[in-house]
Structure 1
Amino acid sequence: MNRQRSLSLLAVLGLSATLTGAPDVVAEPTGDRAAQVRWGACPEGVEDLTAGPAQLDCATVPVPLNYREPEGTRIEIMISRLASRNPDKRRGVLLLNPGGPGGTGLDQPKFLAAHGLPAEVLDSYDLIGIDTRGVGHSAPVSCGFTDDQVYFGNIAPYAVNDAAVTERAVIAQGVAEQCAANDHDGRMSHVSTANMARDLDRIRAALGADKASFLGYSYGTALGAAYASMFPQQVDRVVLDSNIGDTHLDHEGMRLYGRGMEETFPDFAEWAAARHDTYGLGRTPEEVRRTYFTLAERLDAHPVDGMDGNLFRFGTFFTLYRPALYASAAESWRSLIDTGRPGPAGGRPPGTGAPSPNDNAWSVFLAVTCNDVEWPEDIGSYRRAVAEDRERHPLYGAAAANVMPCAYWKLGPSEPPVSIDSTAPGAVLIVQNQRDPVTPLRGGELLDAKFGQRSRLVTVDGSGHGVYVLGADPCATETVTDYLVDGTVPEHDTTCRTG
């Protein structure tokens, strides 16, 4: 379960470039500009050099910590570059974001190339990876999480009853206070989607590009939607893959995780039922679903080897990110049935009080999520939401609707969330699996509706989190590649059907 803890990140209104109420903040000027970055070697760990020579260059771009004080304190944003393989075909820069918020992006250009990013795209663009503000090598922030804290990841635990919500509220309040207490240099309150979008445009300008294209996954769709809305004249081609539905994640957006698991779990259940002779989880999808509830309730009452019902539910939720994970999950379920123990993966190990390896990522997730928009402060509203979603989405709704530290956040928001600009020029391509546990189809539909005629929605009759490169649908791959390379936009919203 260690691996699942570290992967809990995978979870998930702009009129111009000005801040609402702060007319002194303007967009970067357009027009020809010379590149202002100095490329050099990337920090240790960005690439695995044992696998071959370095392919990435890295550089830093200075940006204001506070865009209301553009001449004040500055921070450095680290970027990486996988240069176009064919300068004669190069058409510009493609800014990348892997999601999170909180995920490092410096290795993303090489990751996408290694996982099959089409050659035409590698020729057409310099791929630009980014550690967004607060992340990794870009003025990192920290709440000071340790590996023995009860706080668990960026999805609240499954609330088995009303009292569990109240108990969680105490922990959530403590985490919010802990984050504020650890914000010694005052950076955390400026970690937001709007400021990250402003940083993107500073990066564009520093690269000497009149316009920049963008490819973002999961939370990256919120950032890309904000960038396309705040800087419509500076964006070129925008692909938003696996969508949260807006420029920010709020409580209603988190609750979609429960819906996403309900829509995606049947794929795993059908797979497991077809392999009942191997795993013994049920001969029909309905029997597999009943096995899930039986195991979860047993672990609620009697945790074993560090695994409780919450960890079991989270592990299953994470399994649905990729069909390739189904077999390992089925093995763990079978071990629980046969031996009463979760198998080699185990549950949550004892803590040592050492800094958590997820501290930075979890801290950025909270900073962005809580700074972007006001969250309900009335704990009663969370109790009602949990009770409703426990019935409506019993697989995971009582986790997704549970109280977050955002209910007690004191560092933000400092401005309204970014509004989607549906009137600006430039097409936005929205790509979405029909069954996705963390960013369900509804998120893509919502974002497509908000962009109106400016966007096209490409849905895939597929399962899992991530479509372009991360999936294997040739129709979606061709559609996105044609758009990025040639600017070809589907005439209408379209559905790609696998098989």
Structure 2
Amino acid sequence: MTILSSVTARRASAVGLALVACLTATPAAFATPAAFAAEPTPGAGLDRYYQQRLDWGSCVLGPDDTTGRDLEKAGAQCANVTVPLDYADPRGRTITVAMSRLRATDTRRRVGPLLINFGGPGGTALGEPPATRKAMKEVGARYDIIGMDPRFVGRSTPLDCHWPVGHSVFSAGLGRAGFDRQVALHKDLAAKCRATNASVLPHVTTRNTARDMDVIRGALGERKLSYLGYSYGSYLGTVYTQMFPGRHDRVVLDGAPDPRRYTPRLMRGVERENEQALAGWADWAAKRHATYGLGRTRDHVLATVGRVVEASARGLTLGTGPDVFRVDDTQVPTLIFGGISEDTDSARAAVAEHLSVMVRAAQGQPTRLATEFKEYLKAVLTGEESPTGSVQTAILCGDVAAPRDPERYWRDIERSRAAHPLFGPLTNNIGPCAFWDRPREEPTQVGQDAPALIVSATGDPRTPHTGAVALRGLLPGSRLITLKGANQHGVYGYYGSTCVDEQVNAYLATGELPADDRTCVKQTG
């Protein structure tokens, strides 16, 4: 979905969507109008990929492989599909893409394969077919549900920039000194990635992942591919419909951005939605002051947040013993930002617990870290999740170029800071893409219709509802299901909206979109 939210993995990849720009000319290998033209049919060296035989077998890699065991228990099998690193050179280097398959049990009414993607970018979906089938209820038995680790993700051919942090989305902090530290950090992150992966990085793109998806369709022996994508995954699904028209069946896009605004700086402009989500959380926390001690009113809780951020400029020490983390004003806003992409009680409780620890640290008291918070800090602040952050950044930087002048970012930060003091310096901050090599291809433009079902919450803090409305306008044959009153990123099958779930499942069962756009209301109580 986006950094710091897969129920941990979903939660930890969402910030990556945070990341307008000058584009280089399309190289000769893609000199046709790639923004609109469909990909060619298999041939010109690609036949061997489309016609390969998949070797299905156990998903279990070892005694500690809980994902593999869960897949095996559900009856799924796994395989690797071989794809070219560079589709312009199909006889050159190859890589593998890992996938799982939970086969249809209602074979008489089988629809076909449904490929799923949980966003990030850079998120894994190989382990998700059992949960997806459960969310689909009765209609799930009619699909072969395909989980894919996109190129360079998870069990696919790996990419690791050996970064000292788990991702690259931080705040510029409270002043110029914090921003200057960020410039140095992101310049170093880009250099580390280039030093170890220079030959690979140009091919870590959304368009190449879409090409891999079509190879999977061919290797499965299927004429069409259905698709369920969340967050960045909905952008990937949109790209697939444009590159491979006629090869997709039923398409669900949940938490969809406006594809025209998809850049490494995608989070610019979402300050209001995140402030709304933070205020909703503050109301929730105020009602539980006896538990968390953060304030008895929304304003008191928000003032507590402000005091913690101010104190972090001097540094906060979190934890004791071997697991101690030192955080500052460039990192604390990220920790808060990462926790408010969902408005469920469990997500809000986690934010309250984390903030109460930071309050004690700001007061100079020793703190103990719950296991969940400790793992969260490790994922964000250490190199433990370097592969995830590496792929996430490489895709964003490889898709669209970012401005290169640090002063442009600083001006944007300062303009945003007055109105949005907490989130403006984060959403406008510089990132590694400012120091990345230019993309090889132009980004995909939406130039043809695709009858997709789009799902969006009005208070989505990561991909604002305006993006889903815009995508609906670009795809006139599509339909939009709007969930009102939720500050939630990703709805279908996970949020508990019966209204949304039933309409999505009806579409997956019949292939017929609603007659018009629909509105659901957040369930309370």
Instruction: Give the TM-score taking structure 1 as reference length.
Output: 0.87
Distance 2:358 2:97 in 1: 46
Q: CA deviation at 1:372?
A: 0.3
Q: Which runs of 4+ in 1 moved over 6 A?
A: 3-6, 346-351
Matching of residue 382 in structure 1 with residue 409 in structure 2: yes
Aligned partner letter, 2:249: D
Contact 2:159 2:390 in 1 (8 A): yes
Output the CA distance in 2 between the equivalents of 1:166 and 1:245: 31
Deviations 1:450-477 (A, max 9, x none): 32x1322211122222101111111110
Equivalent pairs, count: 478
* Distance in 2 (alpha carbons) for counterparts of 1:419 and 1:23: 10
CA distance in 2, matches of 1:193, 1:385: 27
Residue 362 of structure 1 aligns to a residue whose secondary structure is helix
1:92-491 alignment to 2 at 5 Å?
92-113=112-133, 116-145=134-163, 149=164, 151=165, 153-183=167-197, 186-246=199-259, 249-305=262-318, 306-322=326-342, 323=344, 324-337=346-359, 340=363, 341=365, 343-345=368-370, 356-410=383-437, 412-421=438-447, 423-424=448-449, 426-451=450-475, 453-461=476-484, 462-491=486-515
Distance 1:165 1:50, change over 3 A: closer
Q: How far did 1:51 drift?
A: 9.7
Answer with 265-274 or 247-256: which moved more.
247-256
Indicate how the Cα distance of structure 1 residues 195 and 296 shifts in structure 2: closer, same or farther if over 3 A, else same: same
Give 1:232's aligned amino acid: P
| 1:58 corresponds to 2:75 | no
1:70 corresponds to = 90
Distance 1:121 1:391, change over 3 A: farther
Which residue does 2:31 correspond to in 1? 21
The structural deviation recorded for 1:48 is 5.3
CA distance in 2, matches of 1:8, 1:96: 18
Aligned mates of 1:349, 1:130 — CA distance in 2: 24
Q: CA RMSD in A?
A: 3.0
TM-score (norm 2): 0.83
Within-5 A mapping of 1:24-63: 26-28=40-42, 36-44=53-61, 45=65, 47=67, 49=69, 53=73, 55-63=75-83
Could you tell me how far 1:108 is from its partner in structure 2?
A: 1.4
Answer yes or no: is the 8 Å Cα contact 1:222–1:247 preserved in 2: no
Which structure 2 segments of 5+ residues have no match? 18-22, 44-49, 319-325
Post-superposition shift, 1:39?
Answer: 1.3
Distance in 1 separating the partners of 2:389 and 2:377: 19
Deviation at 1:248, TM superposition (A): 7.5
CA contact (8 A) 1:193 1:223 kept: yes
Deviation per CA, 1:186-220: give whole Å up to 9, x if none: 22220100010011111111111111011011110
Cα distance in 2 for residues equivalent to 1:48 and 1:137: 11
CA deviation vs aligned residue, 1:80-104 (integer Å, no higher than 9, x gap): 1011121112111101111111112
The offset of 1:232, in angstroms, is 1.4
8 Å Cα contact 1:245/1:253 also seen in 2: no
Judged with a 3 Å threshold, the aligned counterparts in structure 2 of structure 1 residues 248 and 193 are, in CA distance, closer, same or farther, namely farther
Q: 1:222, CA displacement in angstroms?
A: 1.2
CA distance in 2 between counterparts of 1:248 and 1:440 reads 11
Q: In 2 relative to 1, CA 405–35 (structure 1 residues): closer, same or farther, beyond 3 Å?
A: closer
Tell me by how many angstroms 1:401 deviates: 1.1
Q: Structure 1 100/336 Cα, relative in aligned 2: closer, same or farther at 3 Å?
A: closer
Structure 1 residues 387 and 8, CA gap change in structure 2 (3 angstroms): farther
Q: In structure 2, what residue type is equivalent to 1:178?
A: K
- Displacement, 1:251? 4.1
Partner of 1:444, secondary structure, is helix
